[in-house]
Amino acid sequence: MVIRGREVREGTLANGLPYYAFGTGAPLVVLRWFTPAHANPAGLARGAELRVLAPLARHFRLYAVGRAPGMAQGTTMADIAARHAEALRAEFGGPVDVMGMSSGGSVALQLAADHPDVVRALVVAGAAHRLTPSVRRIQRRYTEAVAAGRRGLQHQAVTAAASPAGRALAGALLWLLDPLVRPGDPRDMLAFARAEDGFDLTGRLADVVAPTLVLGGERDLDYPVELFRETAEGIRGSRLITYPGLGHLGTFRSGRFAADVTAFLAGTGPGGPGKTARTTP
C-alpha cells in the first residue's frame, strides 16, 4: 500500500501486536491511542492517525503499534508492557525510541519503567502517570455502552473539544459516527480499558531512566496540566512542553508537535541537553 507517496508495510510483531510502518530514518515506535479494535486502523481512523504521523515520517521510520487481539479479561498494564517489550526486543534487537500517544502513553510509561533495556528515548504525548477519576468514568461509560450494543462514542466528546459549545457539537457528531467505528467484538477494548483503569505509576516514575519528553495541551480536559508537570518532575532530567490554548486532540494537531518530537529525539544522543520548555501552538 502507498500513502502520500510513501509505501506502507503492515504486519504483526511477536505476541500478535499489529503494526504498520512507513517513512525513512531511524526507527520510532508509536504506541497508538485508545482504539475500539485491536487491529491496524482503516477508514476514518486511519486518516486521522496518518494526519498526525505523516510529518514525523519525514524524519523517522515509523512503526505504529497497537495492542494484540484476544486480550484476556484481568490483563494488567504491566502484562501489556511485558508483551510489548518482548515484541520490540525481537524486532529491533536493542533499545529503540518510543512515543506513546494518549492511552499509548500509559503503555509507554509502564514499558519504560518495567523494561528500561527496551526504550532508548521516550516521548509521552497527551498522557501522564495516571488517569483522573473523570477519565476513568468517561472511558467506562463508553466501553460498557459499546459492549452492551448501545451508542457510546459521544462520551468521548470531552477529548475532542475544550469548550462547552465544542463538546456539545462533538458529542452530536460522535453519536452519529458511532456505528461506523464500533468494533465487531468489544471484548478487547473492554479488557484494555480495565487495564488502564488500574494504571498508576505515581510511585515509580524514578524507574524511568530513558531521556523523556512530556507533551500536553494546557486545556486538556482528560489530563490537567498539573498531571503533565507531575509526570515530568518525577522522571529525572525529563523535559516538559505544554501548548497554551490546546486540548487533548489539539496536542497532536499542533503545528509544533512533529517539530518538537523531532528536535527532542535529535538531542538525546551523546551530550544532548535536557530541560523544561514551553511552546506556543
143-160 per-position pLDDT tens digit: 777 777 777 666 666 666
Distance, in Å, from the CA atom of 217 to the CA atom of 206, rounded to the nearest integer, reads: 24
196 or 43, greater pLDDT: 196
Give the mean model confidence (pLDDT) for residues 225-249. 94
Cell of 246: 490546546
Q: For residue 56, give the DSSP letter.
A: G
pLDDT recorded at residue 269? 56
Measured over the CA atoms of residue 171, residue 173, residue 175 and residue 181, the dihedral's sign is negative
Helix, coil or strand: residue 48: helix
Give the mean model confidence (pLDDT) for residues 55-75. 95
15: left (phi over 0), alpha (psi -120 to 50) or beta: left
Average pLDDT, the chain: 86
Using the CB atoms, write b or e for 184-196: b if 16+ within 10 Å: eebebbbbbbbbb
pLDDT surpasses 60 at 264: yes
Measured over the CA atoms of residue 30, residue 36, residue 39 and residue 40, the dihedral's sign is negative
pLDDT surpasses 90 at 235: yes
Give the mean model confidence (pLDDT) for residues 228-245. 96
Is residue 13 a contact partner of residue 31, using CB atoms and an 8 Å limit? Answer: no
Smallest CA-to-CA distance from 34 within 111, 134, 121, 138 is with 138
Distances (CA, A) of 98 to 59, 80, 111, 123, 135: 14, 15, 9, 6, 24
pLDDT surpasses 90 at 177: no
Is residue 46 a contact partner of residue 34, using CB atoms and an 8 Å limit? Answer: no
